[in-house]
Amino acid sequence: MPTVTMIGGGQLARMTHQAAIALGSTLRVLAAAPGEPAAQVSPNVVYGSHDDIDALREAARGSHALTFDHEHVPTEHLEVLVAEGVNVAPPPQALIFAQDKLAMREKLSSLGLPVPAFTAVDSVADAVKFGDEHGWPFVLKAVRGGYDGRGVWMPASADEATELVADQLAHGVRLLAEAKVPLKRELSAMVARSPFGQAATWPVVETVQRDGQCAVVIAPAPDLSEELAARAETMALELAAGLGVVGVMAVELFETHDGEVLVNELAMRPHNSGHWGMDGSRTGQFEQHIRAVLDYPLGDTTPLAPVTVMSNILGAAEAPEMSMDERLHHLFARMPDAKVHLYGKGERPNRKIGHINILGNDVEFVREKAERAATWMSTGVWTDGWDSHGE
Ligand SMILES: Nc1ncnc2c1ncn2[C@@H]1O[C@H](COP(=O)(O)OP(=O)(O)O)[C@@H](O)[C@H]1O
Ligand SMILES: [Mg+2]
């Protein structure tokens, strides 16, 4: 049975490992340290850096496919691996558009896809000019390396932009500017594509961001018109085929007040907006990703309930006194239907340490319950005032 190598030892690799077990595959991970979420659970770990070609080579040796839990591997290294016969999935010529937000913006606009107005920022003057032309605040982004809102700023004035841009450029960070989109909400269209060319979609979901970081996902996106859902899905499928994506891809979208969707960014790996499917879809993204990179036929993605809400468990500002284990006891006592996924990570403020999926019929009800459960796990406080030790 095959071995798949995943570069990166985070929670995405950990949950991919979980899916690999059922398929009889082995997930080998390239991790930086034994404490990382996937390194804790995989018996097949190579330690090293994703920047080190020798570590990548060692991780790839004998593996049927090499894939990723983040987008930080230099494509130069991946080109070398491909030349040496490694099956890199997604291939570097596709992955570049998930790594480099400027290359992605340029590619998508050349394909005629809707994106916010944008420009490269090579100087303070570029940024101030963009703000003056497109309005303040605008959105300043690191071209590479950002995640969970790290690498995204919204300078409200020329002074603020000047300070930010000068500081980032001095640290060698490449930047782009884009217009701040007046959002109705954010959506994500997730697809999978195999080398054979088979593709599968999940329903378009709504993603709720807090401090630039995904907090809640509602599947499917409530009250999304069929027309807009179909447009988003078609866009994601066409992009996956056009870019030659192998594996799962999330297309992060902005829905505007006038019923348009703009592409925010692409992720060519399992993505937070797909976690709901671990419990809410016949085939979740982690299994689908393995199927796709190994060129198995893809799985049925039918939702298992009218609504699934995923709520991230984020590290609290101050970790509660009650242990995680005890919080879990109380959660299960109160909500036997809550599906909990913990990542084996220490509790640090705002860090994603797990998530909870709740399935049901009514969006408001299910969402409140999922958020209440996740807040409990984060803080040890029930937002509805319930006393866990009460009579
Ligand atoms: N052009 C924009 N207009 C409005 N909000 C934006 C824009 N770009 C980013 N954001 C907000 O910032 C979040 C993070 O930006 P994103 O580019 O997706 O960075 P990351 O790589 O950290 O996910 C988005 O999910 C959205 O909430
Ligand atoms: Mg994003």
Phi/psi of residue 100, nearest 5 degrees? -120, 105
32 with 138, same domain: the answer is no
Residues with Cβ < 8 Å from 173, sequence gap 6 or more?
Answer: 142, 143, 145, 151
Q: How many domains does the chain have?
A: 3
Considering the domain architecture, whether residues 163 and 226 belong to the same structural domain is answered as no
Shortest-distance atom of ligand 1 to CA 147: 22
Do 142 and 44 lie in one domain? The reply is no
Residue 363 has φ and ψ, to the nearest 5°, of: -55, -50
Average pLDDT over the chain reads 97
List, for residues 77-116, the tens digit of each pLDDT value.
999 999 999 999 999 999 999 999 999 999 999 999 999 9
- Do 193 and 168 reside in the same domain of the chain? no
Q: What percent of the chain has pLDDT over 70?
A: 100
Whose alpha carbon is nearest atom 1 of ligand 1?
180
Note the Cα 27 to chain centre separation in Å: 19
141 assigned to some structural domain? yes
Q: How far is the CA of 163 from the centre of ligand 1 (A)?
A: 20
Q: Could you give the CA distance from residue 60 to residue 67 in angstroms, rounded to a whole number?
A: 10
Q: What letter would DSSP give residue 124?
A: H
260 known member of a binding site: no
> Are residues 138 and 197 located together in one domain of the fold?
no
Residue nearest to atom 7 of ligand 1 (CA): 180
Q: CA-to-CA distance for 373 and 370, rounded, in angstroms? A: 5
Helical (H) or strand (E) element with 67: strand 65-68
Examine the domain organization and report whether 228 and 334 are in the same domain.
yes
Q: What residues contact 158, with CB distance under 8 A and at least 6 apart? A: 128, 131, 132, 136
- Shared domain check, 154 and 225: no
Domain span holding position 161: 117-178
Say whether both 367 and 265 belong to one domain.
yes
Confirm if 69 and 13 have CB atoms less than 8 A apart. Answer: yes
**CATH code (residue 252):** 3.30.470.20
Instruction: Tell me the C-alpha distance between 306 and 280, whole Å.
Output: 9
Same domain, 172 and 194: no
Q: What is the pTM of this model?
A: 0.96
pLDDT tens, position by position, 269-302:
999 999 999 999 999 999 999 999 999 999 999 9
> What is the tens place of the pLDDT at every residue in 142-196?
999 988 889 999 999 999 999 999 999 999 999 999 999 999 999 999 999 999 9
